[in-house]
Structure 1
Amino acid sequence: MRLPLWASALVATLTVQTVSSFASLAVPLLGPPLMARAGLAPESIGLVAAMTSAGICWCLASGGPMLTRYGPVRTLQIGLACIALGLAALSQPLGLLGLLGAVAIGFGTGHNTPAGSQVLVRAAPPRHRTLIFSIKQAGVPFGGALAGLAVAPLVLAQGLSAALWTVISVVLLTIMLVQPFRQRLDEDRDVGRRGWAPALLSPTTVVRSVRVLRAHPSLPLLTALGASFSVLQSCLTAFMATYAITAHGVSLAEAGRIVAVMQGASMLGRIALGWLADRMGRALQHLALQAVASALAVGLLVTDVVQDVWALYASAALIGTTAIGWNGVHIAELARVAPLALVGEITAAASLFGFVGSIFGPLAFTVLVSWSGSYELSFLLMAAQLAAFGVVSAVIPSGGADQRGRRHS
């Protein structure tokens, strides 16, 4: 039985999103042993996280011609191959090769959002579009939850390098699993397009990728709010396991389970919030309220209320639902207000600013922890900037972002 086009698109993009997330989020979970092997402080994992985000930014700024040339499914397969190469580099002692590997992982992961948006916006029924986008984006925390549950036992059973090679095997298998979807979903690729490789190093491509955000008056505000969310999310993803180990004395396996709870709650939160946004509309105001709620959840994490491990699990679940559960609604709203021909480019450009935040967030967090010796203060400052952006987004006119059903051509 042949699946409807939207279902084929969702299965393919959700599968790649989940495996990409599983592979990339395995790295911060391995932060303590990776840094210990390199003779570095645990918070130095922030440098690896920043380099991964730099790779994502590179992809989002310059990878549009590749997507046009090969189509979404083949582009996602290329991304998975880059992730496998990056993980292979990280399987060696951390040095320049390892940092380049982190960039490769980011470059491979960066294709997921624009390629997924390009195929889903054409295939998804409009009245369920936000829910479908949110289900696809739920692959990020689902993959993270799988990593949280599986990575620590793999390390304990096989050792650090063998665990990384197991993850690489899963990534390579996924490239083959999505191949059957390619013919149907890559029909609109431009097979005559040339010059995608030089575009990866072209400043002109970067400038054009940013200019497309002028296509709708609500896009700059949506982009800024997404970048603010990304700052906090990147810090939570990079440092939650290390924070649980250093501040609460839990084991690596326990920290992995805490991260799994955070990511699992995010998966459910993304789907529920996507459904709610489809029912209620007013996505920008919805995101503004969620920003304030996210900051409050992080504040709860670092207060004296969270003392035992069960309270830590509860806080992680609340943070997952709020601070990491925003992405599906945000991506769907970007796709809704964008001109149809520019959906992939606009999604990539907005995501580019988000991942710039993902670079500077962990770097700033690392510096703050080194300066103050306090993870709590660092988390509070990252949460405060998101709350401020949420308040600003709630009071500034949206420029028509919430006129439901509008479509530009």
Structure 2
Amino acid sequence: MLPLWASALAATLIVQTVSSFSNMAIPLLGPLLMARLGLPPESIGYVSALSALGICWFLACGGPMLLHFGPVRTLQLGLVITALGLLTLSQPLGLLSLLGALAIGFGAGPNTPAGSQILIRAAPPRHRTLIFSIKQAGVPLGGALAGLVIAPLVLAQGLSVALWAVIGVTLVTILVVWPFRRRLDGQGHGRHPGWHRSLLSWSTMVRSVGTLRAHPSLPLLAALGASFSVMQACLMAFTATYVVTQHGASLAEAGRVVAAMHTASMVGRISMGWAADRIGGAMRHLAVQAVASALAVCLLMGTSGLGPWALYGSAALVGFVAIGWNGVHIAELARVAPLELVSDVTSAASLFGFMGSILGPLAFALLVGWSGSYAVAFLAVAAQLAGFGLATMLFLRRSPA
């Protein structure tokens, strides 16, 4: 039998990777899906927005559901809801089909709080941040797998087969993690029969956010995570366009630059987790990483005219430090939170992170429209992250975490 920590990591990493794969498949299928629904191609933006809203919905109100079913069972239910969302989104129902995107996001919502609840109980303290970071590496891994698999599958078999393949993988994963339920869920669930009413309860959301008062460092830690999320979302949304418009690259080359950034982010998440465990002081580590991320983005903005290797190298560095933060952040949230509030605290902090992921690109686009420069917008985003990093350093000097 696997050690408890290995079982916990295997279950959470598998679900995280498949959930990311299912979610990332949607933008890749966007033009064909929108055509099937009779909607213009730009309607894929509504899909992304509704999916993010679904994640926020679970993070705000899904705590009682998680307590009722237990973490592994909740992850399984999330996969079921994701599959139903994919099925709804694939039906030619016009705007009604877009409700499937809301379900897909809601189904992805349990990954962070349920995964944190499982890992904080099972991971050895001396390797905790590394284990959390490996689990979070499932996000770029799932995205990379979607990028490699979806387009060839559509070309070879068509849109319907590709959609059913994604749905099939999602459903099979429910069976794959089934053996972990008894060992990882334990006996502490089934005590919240009114969980379904909490999904539409304003007080549940307020109570969830209120858990960030459980430790003095949690509000700033949540704010730092939201700041990182703004940076990450803007990099994901605008790097390809920046490379094409400012460097004169082809779309194919821009895709390779983004691929280098994603690959480096996967390595970065694991490496940063290992480093945080070895050095200690995860919050200080995050503060330094925030400043380093801002400097890396400044370096990327300065590569114009320096050749492709400078562009690829700086993009990889940005991916390594600016997108490699998530595992360390979630592990630190779980460490400082009271054990019984781990899932609530990670949900609340992640909620602010996803709000940053939504609002950040909107502000970025407005800033580009006002200034006419992607570099100015990227530097502004870098400045806000550096500011939060420096503020965290000052906080730690006055009150060490």
Per the normalisation by structure 1, the TM-score is 0.87
Map 1:208-247 to 2 at 5 A. 208-241=207-240
Paired amino acid for 2:26: V
Partner Cα distance (2:398, 2:166) in 1? 44
The structure-2 alpha-carbon separation of the partners of 1:137 and 1:213, relative to structure 1 and needing over 3 Å to count, comes to: same
Equivalent residue for 1:285? 284
Moved more, 331-340 or 363-372: 363-372
Equivalent residue for 1:263? 262
Are 1:72 and 1:186, in contact at CA under 8 Å, matched by a contact in 2?
Answer: yes
Partner Cα distance (2:69, 2:234) in 1? 33
Partner Cα distance (1:35, 1:311) in 2? 37
Partner Cα distance (2:133, 2:259) in 1? 19
1:264 CA drift (Å): 2.2
For residues 282-333 of structure 1, give each alpha carbon's deviation from its aligned partner in whole angstroms, at most 9, with x where no partner exists: 2122111211222232333344537765554433322221111001111111
Partner Cα distance (1:104, 1:309) in 2? 41
Residue 250 of structure 2 is aligned to residue 250 of structure 1: yes
Equivalent residue for 1:163? 162
Are 1:29 and 1:256, in contact at CA under 8 Å, matched by a contact in 2?
Answer: no
Are 2:303 and 2:310, in contact at CA under 8 Å, matched by a contact in 1?
Answer: no
Equivalent residue for 2:356? 357
Partner Cα distance (2:156, 2:377) in 1? 34
RMSD, matched Cα: 2.8
Equivalent residue for 1:78? 77
Partner Cα distance (1:238, 1:101) in 2? 22
Equivalent residue for 1:39? 40
The structure-2 alpha-carbon separation of the partners of 1:257 and 1:304, relative to structure 1 and needing over 3 Å to count, comes to: closer
1:18 CA drift (Å): 0.9
Are 1:148 and 1:259, in contact at CA under 8 Å, matched by a contact in 2?
Answer: no
Moved more, 9-18 or 370-379: 370-379
Partner Cα distance (1:381, 1:78) in 2? 40
The structure-2 alpha-carbon separation of the partners of 1:209 and 1:378, relative to structure 1 and needing over 3 Å to count, comes to: same
Partner Cα distance (1:369, 1:15) in 2? 38
Partner Cα distance (1:39, 1:150) in 2? 25
Moved more, 235-244 or 266-275: 235-244
Are 2:31 and 2:41, in contact at CA under 8 Å, matched by a contact in 1?
Answer: no
1:6 CA drift (Å): 1.1
The structure-2 alpha-carbon separation of the partners of 1:27 and 1:172, relative to structure 1 and needing over 3 Å to count, comes to: same
Partner Cα distance (2:397, 2:179) in 1? 41
Partner Cα distance (1:383, 1:161) in 2? 41
Partner Cα distance (2:307, 2:48) in 1? 28
Map 1:316-355 to 2 at 5 A. 316-355=315-354
Are 1:46 and 1:363, in contact at CA under 8 Å, matched by a contact in 2?
Answer: no
- For 2:207, what is the secondary structure of its paired residue? helix
Paired amino acid for 2:250: V
Identity, % of aligned pairs?
67
Are 1:28 and 1:239, in contact at CA under 8 Å, matched by a contact in 2?
Answer: no
Partner Cα distance (1:261, 1:32) in 2? 24
Equivalent residue for 1:123? 122
Are 1:114 and 1:347, in contact at CA under 8 Å, matched by a contact in 2?
Answer: yes
Equivalent residue for 1:194? 193
Paired amino acid for 1:342: L
The structure-2 alpha-carbon separation of the partners of 1:277 and 1:176, relative to structure 1 and needing over 3 Å to count, comes to: same
- For 1:397, what is the secondary structure of its paired residue? helix
For residues 52-80 of structure 1, give each alpha carbon's deviation from its aligned partner in whole angstroms, at most 9, with x where no partner exists: 22211111111111111111111011111
The structure-2 alpha-carbon separation of the partners of 1:188 and 1:307, relative to structure 1 and needing over 3 Å to count, comes to: farther
Equivalent residue for 1:182? 181
Paired amino acid for 2:7: S
Partner Cα distance (2:274, 2:362) in 1? 34
Partner Cα distance (1:146, 1:330) in 2? 24
- For 2:133, what is the secondary structure of its paired residue? helix
1:120 CA drift (Å): 0.8
Equivalent residue for 1:406? none
Figure out how many residues of one structure are paired with residues of the other and give that number.
Answer: 398
The structure-2 alpha-carbon separation of the partners of 1:362 and 1:271, relative to structure 1 and needing over 3 Å to count, comes to: same
- For 2:187, what is the secondary structure of its paired residue? coil
The structure-2 alpha-carbon separation of the partners of 1:362 and 1:171, relative to structure 1 and needing over 3 Å to count, comes to: farther
- For 1:228, what is the secondary structure of its paired residue? helix
1:170 CA drift (Å): 1.6
- For 1:354, what is the secondary structure of its paired residue? helix
The structure-2 alpha-carbon separation of the partners of 1:257 and 1:362, relative to structure 1 and needing over 3 Å to count, comes to: same
Paired amino acid for 1:168: I
Map 1:296-335 to 2 at 5 A. 296-305=295-304, 311-335=310-334
Gaps in structure 2 of 5+ consecutive residues: none
The structure-2 alpha-carbon separation of the partners of 1:156 and 1:297, relative to structure 1 and needing over 3 Å to count, comes to: farther
Map 1:6-85 to 2 at 5 A. 6-30=5-29, 38-40=39-41, 46-85=45-84
Partner Cα distance (1:366, 1:50) in 2? 15
Equivalent residue for 1:172? 171
Are 1:29 and 1:241, in contact at CA under 8 Å, matched by a contact in 2?
Answer: no
Per the normalisation by structure 2, the TM-score is 0.89
- For 2:2, what is the secondary structure of its paired residue? coil
Paired amino acid for 2:40: G
The structure-2 alpha-carbon separation of the partners of 1:381 and 1:157, relative to structure 1 and needing over 3 Å to count, comes to: farther
1:166 CA drift (Å): 2.6
Paired amino acid for 1:76: L
Paired amino acid for 1:392: A
1:265 CA drift (Å): 1.4
Paired amino acid for 1:74: R
1:95 CA drift (Å): 5.4
Equivalent residue for 2:381? 382
For residues 80-99 of structure 1, give each alpha carbon's deviation from its aligned partner in whole angstroms, at most 9, with x where no partner exists: 12222333344357953354
